[in-house]
Amino acid sequence: MVGLTKHFGAVVALGAFFPALISAQNTTAATTAASTFYLDETQTQFSVNIANDSSDVFIYFTSPAYSWVSVGFGDKMADSLMLVMYPNNNGDNVTISPRYGSGHTEPAFTPNVAIDILPGTTVNDSMFVLNARCRNCRVWPNGFLDPKDTAQPMIYAFGPGSSLYSDSQSAGLKRHVRYGFFTMDMVAATGTGRVPSQSSAISGVTMVGEMVKDHDRASFAHAVVGCLALFVVWPLNVLVAGFFKNIKIHVGVSVLVMALLIVAYALGGVASAQFIRSKSFNSPHQILAFLSLLPILLLSLLPIPSLSTLHAKIPRLHGPLTALAFLLLVLTGGLGLGLASQTRAIILIYTAIALIVCVFIVTVQSCIRRRGSAYARSQGGPRRGSGGDEDDDRNYMLGKMEESSRSTSSASLGGAPPPPPAYGMPYGGQFGADGGQYQYQQSQQQQRSPYGGGTMPGPQYLLNMHPGVPVQVSRM
């Protein structure tokens, strides 16, 4: 009987203890001072606790596992302290990166802000969950966190849907696709230092406007214009050069290619200034882009007459320089996709298109080499056919000789007379000045004669050969 009484007393004591324990837990949770931002559209929660017994700031942060999610202390990106969250290299936990903003560019990682990852941080069901303590994050260059401010300006942003997996706190980020603003009551968030609890209720937060959609227009336009120049207009120009007789069309399309490349380079400079990895212009993509300018510049200088006539081989550089420029630009574009952190599928599509265009251009140029370009054939230039280059050159020279003969005949029928030979010696003999002048005048009279001045006998000579035979000179 005594033992039963003791057991009954223990049960009663336990029954009284558990409600007290539950009540204490609820009281603790309820007394954790925090201000909570909650975005129902993405189920994103960001809660802040300002410790009143230290300079620490406790954070609870949860959001869908986009490539990255960030919240910043400040009214704009410039001079703000941003906390960027993305998956680690294995995808099973969170990498938190404190960064300083410097304008409408990618924020830069700072080692001056220390963040301690606390238990409970994980990636669960495609959701980031972060429990953290931030040290040295109340003051930063050109900004500070005021515990007495009831409307601390805040910003938030979401990266694109493609995932970023990295353990590095300075990993490169793609431009955000959405962002917005809100204010947070720091007075309500000040209390005993603890990690706030999960909640879907907004507390101490005022939303400022709607969430804004954003686009990386400069990078997109840079890629589109560059691909248009390389994979559409460039092969079209090869066709024009090979199969159109009007060289002006080829020149016009070449100018269009140059204009598109200039626009692509300009857009690339604008896009490069937005990201830390490209601000210094020392990436392989940018270095190769600068090297590509050399053959492009030489191609634009080759048509200058004073340069093309310096040596016979200079015009022949057009083909090799064109091939070199195209190859460098294609490689530059491929490296640019890697620099922009594009997906593997997009890189493979670009590679396939580049190979198809290369095969097409090589095939067309082979046909042009075999039969000659339409413009060269229309100008009487040599054809590169099955007869060999020597026969082609011989035919070309014969055609040039015929043209020269026709021009000589037209000159003899009324054109300007040729200049007198040097030293008055038209035939290379030893004549004096008077004799040379006499011979030259006779030569001019023969050229001006309507009956020619060549080796065929004239009508007077025929009369002397056949005396007594009437010859009507007027009918000859």
Tokens 């009663």, residue?
12
Rg, Å, the chain Cα set: 43
Mean pLDDT, residues 87-108 taken together: 90
Q: Name which of 100-109, 262-271, 276-285, 367-376 the model is least confident about.
A: 367-376
CA-CA distance, 219 to 217, in Å (whole number)? Answer: 6
CA-CA distance, 252 to 302, in Å (whole number)? Answer: 15
For residue 471, is pLDDT > 70?
Answer: no
Kindly give the interhelix angle for 217-228 and 318-339, rounded to the nearest 10 degrees.
150
**What's residue 464's pLDDT?**
52
**What's residue 413's pLDDT?**
46
Greatest CA separation found in the chain? 181
pLDDT in tens, 271-325: 999 999 998 899 999 999 999 999 999 888 887 777 777 777 787 888 889 999 9
**At 100, is the secondary structure helix, strand, or coil?**
strand
Q: Calculate the dihedral angle through the C-alpha atoms of 304, 305, 306, 309, rounding to the nearest 10 degrees.
A: 120
The tokens for 129 are 């969950």
CA-CA distance, 240 to 248, in Å (whole number)? Answer: 10
pLDDT in tens, 15-31: 444 444 444 444 444 57
Asked if residues 244 and 227 have their Cβ atoms less than 8 Å apart, the reply is no
How would you classify residue 212: left for phi > 0, otherwise alpha for psi between -120 and 50, otherwise beta?
Answer: beta
Tell me what the pLDDT averaged over the chain comes to: 79
pLDDT in tens, 122-163: 988 788 999 999 998 899 998 999 999 999 999 999 998 777
Domains contained in the chain, CATH given: 39-215 (2.60.40.1210), 218-378 (no CATH)
Q: How does strand 69-73 pair with strand 81-87?
A: antiparallel
pTM, rounded to two decimals: 0.68
pLDDT in tens, 410-428: 544 444 454 544 433 333 3
Highest mean pLDDT: which of 263-267, 410-414, 438-442?
263-267
CA-CA distance, 288 to 330, in Å (whole number)? Answer: 10
**What's residue 163's pLDDT?**
72
Asked if residues 191 and 168 have their Cβ atoms less than 8 Å apart, the reply is no
CA-CA distance, 444 to 431, in Å (whole number)? Answer: 18
* Chain CA centroid to CA 177, Å: 20
Mean pLDDT, residues 186-212 taken together: 93
pLDDT above 70: percentage of residues in the chain: 72
**What's residue 315's pLDDT?**
79
Q: Please give the residue that has the higher pLDDT: either 226 or 164.
A: 226
* Numbers of helices and strands, H then E, in the chain: 13, 16
**What's residue 69's pLDDT?**
93
pLDDT in tens, 380-404: 655 544 444 444 444 444 444 455 5
CA-CA distance, 463 to 473, in Å (whole number)? Answer: 10
Written as one letter, the residue type at 377 is: R
Burial 35-48 (b: 16+ CB within 10 A, else e): bbbbbeeeebbbbb
Mean pLDDT, residues 428-452 taken together: 45
For residue 66, is pLDDT > 70?
Answer: yes
For residue 84, is pLDDT > 80?
Answer: yes
Neighbouring-strand partners of residue 81: 73, 100
Mean pLDDT, residues 219-236 taken together: 95
